[in-house]
Amino acid sequence: MVRKGRFNKPAAEIAQRYGESVSFDWRLYRYDVTGSIAHAAALARAGIITAEDRRKIENGLRAIEKEIVSGKFEWDPSLEDVHMNIEAALTNRIGAAGANLHTARSRNDQIALDLRLYVKAEIAEVLSRLRHLQRALLGLAEKHVDVLMPGYTHLQRAQPVTFSHYLLAQIETFQRDASRLRDCLARTDVLPLGSGALAGSTILLDRECIARDLGFSRVSQNSIDAVSDRDFVCEFIFCLATIGLHLSRLSEDLIIWSTSEFGFLEFSDAFSTGSSLMPQKKNPDMAELTRGKTGRLYGNLMAIMTTMKGLASSYNRDMQEDKHALFDSVDTVRSALEVFAAMLPELKIYHERMQAAASDPNLLATDLAEYLVKKGTPFRKAHAIVGNIVAQSAANQIPLNQVPLAELKKFSPLLDREVAKIFNVSSALAKRTATGAPSPKNIAAQIKRWHSNLELTDESA
């Protein structure tokens, strides 16, 4: 544990073990080095250090970074954190020049900088993995564009859709996740360096120039807020938790549809596991694990929000705990997105089972009610009429599309021979032409739109 001159005794060993963070915050080394190089450049521009000292600092930091990447760097828990480990190693290498690096800087604004650089980089990585997932979904949608299936509400068959329409819905969901990440990026893209411990420094550095060097669009406007702020961490973890939510719902659909009771699809051997006891089993463990890991993502969000809620303004050591939640959420979502992007193209889709389920005539009961509406019947009355027809057909064990016309007319004289055309699923879908509805024409247009959108996103990344 780092000791200042005002202490007469060393920290207790147990306190050092309890307080160290380098065992996990070492992951920020790349950003700590980057920030320190930019800070050294600012010190040189201000005349605080010489150009030669700046060169020594930069070369020394680059060498330390290479050692860390190679695994040769030895982290010392007694130096507490990633910042002091790197600074101590630098000073040992280059002497007094290294000792000058911390001029006009506190670990408070230093960690705030490292975290912002880390979150910015991880937002870009998660956005990239979201695009890979969306492309996998789009590929499935294009491959199975003509496959009919039931749409469900309350896990009960509701109305006919296509498998492609379902997959396109997932793409829309993950696009909102991407949009949230970009919003989070805008609030993360603020340089805190130069705020010091909480009140800046009497040594003036060109913060706007530092921001340009580090790729920030603007600088913080209040030094207390700059070292206090972890909103961007909370927001990023929320974004990751929401991605987990959407992956979990997708997992649930796929898990259910892979059961013998549904038989709509099958996971490939590469993304399934067996049973230690039952030799016939093929379990969708990757989807189940993803569904389960979402609970961890929610826990991380609750942890960071709870940690921050009772802190007085400015920096508090409690904020050291933000990294566990942040790193775990990043690792979890990155892995889940990678697995799903690889797993989805290998799904085996059982077209016949899906289409057989979609041929259930009850799925077109709403179409029958709308037929009556077009004939002038108020919708609520039409709804009740068709409900009575459905109830009678179920009681008599006669499919809805096979109820004799004479029986239908007992419920409404407006029902005529044209009713038979209602029970053609393909025709029913073709009529659903409103924006967002699952007509083949709409689906083809949406597939084309998403190809264009994802290509443009790749170009701008």
Residue 212 pLDDT level (bands cut at 50, 70, 90): very high
Q: How far is the CA of 438 from the CAs of 138, 140, 164, 167, 307, in angstroms? A: 15, 16, 9, 11, 46
Instruction: Give the percent of the chain with pLDDT over 70.
Output: 98
**Domains contained in the chain, number:** 3
Task: Output DSSP code: residue 347.
Answer: P
CATH number of the domain residue 50 falls in: 1.10.275.10
Q: What is the pLDDT of residues 113-144, one digit of tens each?
A: 999 999 999 999 999 999 999 999 999 999 99
pTM to 2 decimals?
0.94
Final residue of a domain: which of 103, 120, 148?
103
Q: How far is the CA of 309 from the CAs of 60, 242, 302, in angstroms? A: 40, 21, 11
Q: Is 116 within 8 Å of 214 (Cβ atoms)?
A: no
Q: What would the mean pLDDT of 7-32 be, rounded to a whole number?
A: 91
Q: Is the pLDDT of residue 196 over 60?
A: yes
What is the token pair recorded at 118? Answer: 């880390």
Q: Is residue 7 part of a domain?
A: no
Q: Is residue 151 part of a domain?
A: yes
CB atoms within 10 A of CB 140: 21
Examine the domain organization and report whether 21 and 81 are in the same domain: yes
Give the distance from CA 105 to its chain's centroid: 34
Q: Is the pLDDT of residue 415 over 90?
A: yes
Q: Which of 80, 163, 97 shows the shortest CA–CA distance to 344? A: 163
Examine the domain organization and report whether 168 and 249 are in the same domain: yes
Q: Is residue 86 part of a domain?
A: yes
d(CA 232, CA 242): 15
Residue 10 pLDDT level (bands cut at 50, 70, 90): confident
CB atoms within 10 A of CB 193: 29
| Token pair 């989805």: residue | 344
Examine the domain organization and report whether 27 and 38 are in the same domain: yes
Determine the pLDDT at residue 3.
Answer: 53
Give the distance from CA 102 to its chain's centroid: 36
What is the token pair recorded at 33? Answer: 């080095």
Q: Is residue 4 part of a domain?
A: no
Instruction: Give the percent of the chain with pLDDT over 90.
Output: 94
Q: What would the mean pLDDT of 104-115 be, rounded to a whole number?
A: 98
d(CA 308, CA 232): 12
Helix (H, G, I), strand (E, B) or coil at 437: coil
Examine the domain organization and report whether 365 and 312 are in the same domain: no
Determine the pLDDT at residue 276.
Answer: 87
Structural domain span for residue 447: 360-460
Examine the domain organization and report whether 149 and 114 are in the same domain: yes
Instruction: Estimate the share of the chain in helix, then strand, then coil, as percent rounded to the nearest 5.
Output: 70, 5, 25
Q: Is residue 6 part of a domain?
A: no
What is the token pair recorded at 335? Answer: 């892995």
End-to-end CA, the chain: 41
Examine the domain organization and report whether 287 and 376 are in the same domain: no
- The angle, 0 to 180 degrees and rounded to 10, between the axes of the packed helices 322-343 and 107-143 is 20
Residue 1 pLDDT level (bands cut at 50, 70, 90): low
Q: Which of 92, 117, 94, 96 shows the shortest CA–CA distance to 33? A: 117
Q: Is residue 175 part of a domain?
A: yes
Which string of b and e fits 68-96 if b means at least 16 CB within 10 Å?
A: beeeebebeebbbbbbbbbbbbbbebbee
Q: What would the mean pLDDT of 414-421 be, rounded to a whole number?
A: 94
H/E/C letters for each residue in 302-345? HHHHHHHHCCCCCCCHHHHHHHHHHHHHHHHHHHHHHHHHHHHH
Residue 81 pLDDT level (bands cut at 50, 70, 90): very high
Q: Is residue 283 part of a domain?
A: yes
Residue 6 pLDDT level (bands cut at 50, 70, 90): low
Q: Is the pLDDT of residue 250 over 90?
A: yes
Final residue of a domain: which of 323, 357, 391?
357
Final residue of a domain: which of 315, 339, 357?
357
CATH number of the domain residue 349 falls in: 1.20.200.10
Examine the domain organization and report whether 335 and 373 are in the same domain: no
Examine the domain organization and report whether 267 and 143 are in the same domain: yes
Specify which residues 348 forms β-bridges with.
Answer: 266
Examine the domain organization and report whether 339 and 435 are in the same domain: no
Q: Is residue 277 part of a domain?
A: yes
Q: Is 228 within 8 Å of 313 (Cβ atoms)?
A: yes
| Token pair 């790197």: residue | 86
Q: Annotated catalytic sites, by residue?
A: 154, 275
Examine the domain organization and report whether 439 and 324 are in the same domain: no
Examine the domain organization and report whether 99 and 120 are in the same domain: no
CATH number of the domain residue 399 falls in: 1.10.40.30
Question: What's the whole-number average pLDDT of the chain?
Answer: 96
| Better-predicted residue by pLDDT, 15 or 167 | 167
Q: What is the pLDDT of residues 343-369, one digit of tens each?
A: 999 999 999 999 999 999 999 999 999
Specify which residues 273 forms β-bridges with.
Answer: 283
What is the token pair recorded at 332? Answer: 């979890």
Examine the domain organization and report whether 273 and 416 are in the same domain: no
Q: What would the mean pLDDT of 408-416 be, rounded to a whole number?
A: 95
